[in-house]
Amino acid sequence: MRGLLNKVVSRSLSVAGKWQQQQLRRLNVHEYQGAELMGKHGINVPKGVAVSSIEEVRKAIQEVFPNQSEIVVKSQILAGGRGLGTFKSGLQGGVHIVKSEKVEDIAGKMLGQVLVTKQTGPQGKVVSKVYLCEKLSLTNEMYFAIMLDRQTAGPLIIACKKGGTSIEDLAEKFPDLIIKVPIDVFEGITDEDAAKVVDGLAPKSADKKDCIEQVKKLYKLFCDSDCTLLEINPIAETADNKLVAADAKLNFDDNAAFRQKELFALRDPTQEDPREVAAAKADLNYIGLDGEIGCMVNGAGLAMATMDIIKLHGGTPANFLDVGGNASEGQVIFLA
């Protein structure tokens, strides 16, 4: 979701895309954690279980998937592009659909290995868990997202009757199929709002009333969990005419950590920028970037202006850092 969405959809989508690409200080959970959370809110998700060892893989096959001929094996890292990624060990792809008797072999080649994708950088990320899912028989794939929109000062639902590919591609190929439904933050989502979203999704076989209820449950999850982004791509219809969240990405507002303690306990610091993890422990407002010029600035506005000046003169900042007016001696020593 990059710059082209400024022309096709709105600035809000462009911002959402930048959130996905940059390492901002917000909670980002693994796919299996998002699926568990959605399931608790009554949202249709594929049957699945996360495993971290070969013993757990064997147990899952016997107890969770006893009659499944094929199982989807998904590496769990906090980065996109897993399907087209490459393990440093040589294995191609972080997502595989395999026969049940091959699951143990593929999972074993993923666990503990480093997966490199277009979003991880060349260093990649270590796969500590894999997510075993049932293989769904999908008949129709669509796109759904909820995000915070500055223009409407509230949640914005994005829907498209085509999905399963990146929103950049959808916006470029099918701009007229993407609809936006702003939600009144005080009134909440209405049946009329949800119906507009479902009309934008244009399901072919799923019951419209059931789809409306699923949309309302997704919105409730977004609000109840203090999400900043809830993206389902694809949200799909199955052969038994159900609407299912086949793959989801959820981000949460770090400022809500005080009231979302159970949710923030899911944070996986091993998947985050170690610089940001250390800075957060020191209560510093730090965001790691990919440049070569370090910045230590007193005040967020001045920090942003400094970064702009660096870019203006051809440089690239290595970080955003707002020391603030109340930094202690210990914090400054930490930075040094």
Active-site annotation, residues: 143, 231
- The one-character DSSP state at 118 is T
CB atoms within 10 A of CB 310: 17
Q: Quote the CA–CA distance of 248 and 132 in Å, as a whole number.
A: 15
| Token pair listed for 122 | 């060349």
Q: Quote the CA–CA distance of 307 and 323 in Å, as a whole number.
A: 15
| Token pair listed for 332 | 């400054």
Those residues with Cβ within 8 angstroms of residue 173's Cβ, 6 or more apart along the chain or in another chain = none
Q: Closest by alpha carbon to 194, among 218, 212, 206?
A: 212
Q: Quote the CA–CA distance of 246 and 35 in Å, as a whole number.
A: 9
| 129 bridge partner residues | 76
Distances (CA, A) of 285 to 255, 304, 319: 12, 13, 10
**Helices marked H in 174-243:** 191-201, 208-224
> Please, what is the Cα angle at 164 between 170 and 174, to 5 degrees?
20
